[in-house]
């Protein structure tokens, strides 16, 4: 059983965070909220999203998993104006999701969850540095780096207590340093890893400019990006595998 009412913004934010990596996903409809965990086909980027029941106007579920075509559901959510409410109800018998937006009724055929790529294990990592930064600063770093290169190095200098971004292109370079005054928080430990900008750009799209984003970094280790959604009633974790620098 699943029946919920949610604001269009919350629904869109949720879908956007996952659709930057995959086209379809499994959605766990637990009693206390929903969880989505998915990994992109190349197994380089993954997302773990939780949205608690409090993020909904009303929420009733008793466990169960549905398979969803994200772009289809995003299109439907796009029909709602901001401030409008979206009603979702699962028809167990037909395995379809009934969606209502201000009189508009849409019946969405669901995907058999067994036909969707298996949900990934979250790597259990001991990362040496943690940076808390504003979403808009990540956006700035990613945007500038994208002008010169297709990959980006993120690092923490433990002795100088700063977080830095390096992008080296064929001709031009970008470098950005943020000190503890410019960051919300920094738990310094030496860290530096190289990442594909393609992935980071996509993940960046899902990060709100005003969000407090926690980055966890290591030496040639995956990057963890955590931020709250739905006014803190939900959270998104992205994990991105590094590129290893060839000498």
Partner 1 sequence: MPTETHENPAPETIERVVREGQLDGAIVTCLAACEVEYDGRSGGYLGPGDRLVVAKPDGTLLVHRPSGHQPVNWMPGGATIKVEEDGGSALLYARRSNPNEYLRVYLHEPHLLTRFDADDTATYQERGTEAEMHEYIEQNPETAIEDGFRVVEHERESVYGYIDFFGKDAEGRPVVVEVKRRQATLNNVDQLKRYMGLYRESNPDVRGILVAPSASDRVQRALRDDGLEFVELSEFAVETRESSEKTLSDFL
- Binding region for partner 1 (CB under 8 A): 39, 42-46, 120-126, 196, 221-222, 239, 241-246
Q: Which is nearer to partner 1, 171 or 246 (CB)?
A: 246
Q: Which is nearer to partner 1, 46 or 230 (CB)?
A: 46
- Residue 3's Cβ-count burial label (10 Å; 0-12, 13-18, 19+) is middle
Q: Which is nearer to partner 1, 113 or 222 (CB)?
A: 222
Least Å distance between CB 168 and partner 1?
14
Q: Which is nearer to partner 1, 33 or 45 (CB)?
A: 45
Least Å distance between CB 229 and partner 1?
22
Sheet-wide strand order for 33-39: 65-69, 24-30, 33-39, 45-52, 234-240, 223-229, 212-217, 129-134, 185-187
Contacts of 14 (CB under 8 A, 6+ apart): 34, 36, 49, 51, 229, 230, 234
Least Å distance between CB 223 and partner 1?
11
Which of the 8 DSSP states describes residue 243?
A: B
- d(C-alpha 78, C-alpha 86), whole Å: 11
Q: In terms of Cα–Cα distance, which of 40, 54, 45 is closest to 10? A: 54
Least Å distance between CB 196 and partner 1?
8
Q: Which is nearer to partner 1, 111 or 122 (CB)?
A: 122
Least Å distance between CB 41 and partner 1?
10
């Amino acid at each position: 059983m699943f029946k919920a009412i949610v604001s269009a913004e919350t629904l869109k934010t949720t879908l956007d965070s996952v659709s930057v990596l995959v086209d379809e996903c499994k959605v766990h409809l637990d009693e206390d909220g929903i969880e989505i965990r998915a990994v992109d086909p190349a197994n380089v980027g993954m997302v773990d999203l939780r949205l608690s029941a409090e993020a909904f106007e009303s929420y009733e579920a008793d466990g169960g998993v549905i398979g969803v075509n994200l772009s289809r559901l995003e299109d439907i959510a796009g029909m709602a104006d901001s401030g409008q409410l979206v009603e979702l109800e699962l028809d167990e018998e037909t395995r379809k999701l009934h969606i209502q937006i201000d009189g508009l009724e849409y019946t969405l055929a669901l995907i058999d969850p067994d036909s969707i790529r298996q949900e990934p294990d979250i790597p259990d990592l001991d990362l040496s540095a943690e940076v808390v930064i504003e979403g808009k600063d990540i956006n700035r770093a990613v945007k500038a780096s994208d002008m010169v290169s297709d990959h980006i190095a993120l690092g923490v200098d433990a002795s100088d207590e700063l977080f830095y971004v390096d992008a080296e292109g064929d001709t031009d370079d970008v470098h950005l340093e943020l000190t503890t005054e410019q960051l919300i928080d920094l738990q310094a430990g030496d860290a530096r890893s190289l990442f594909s900008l393609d992935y980071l750009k996509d993940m960046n799209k899902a990060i709100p400019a005003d969000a407090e984003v926690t980055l966890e970094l290591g030496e040639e280790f995956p990057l963890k990006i955590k931020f709250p959604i739905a006014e803190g009633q939900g959270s998104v974790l992205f994990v991105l595998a590094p590129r290893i620098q060839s000498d």
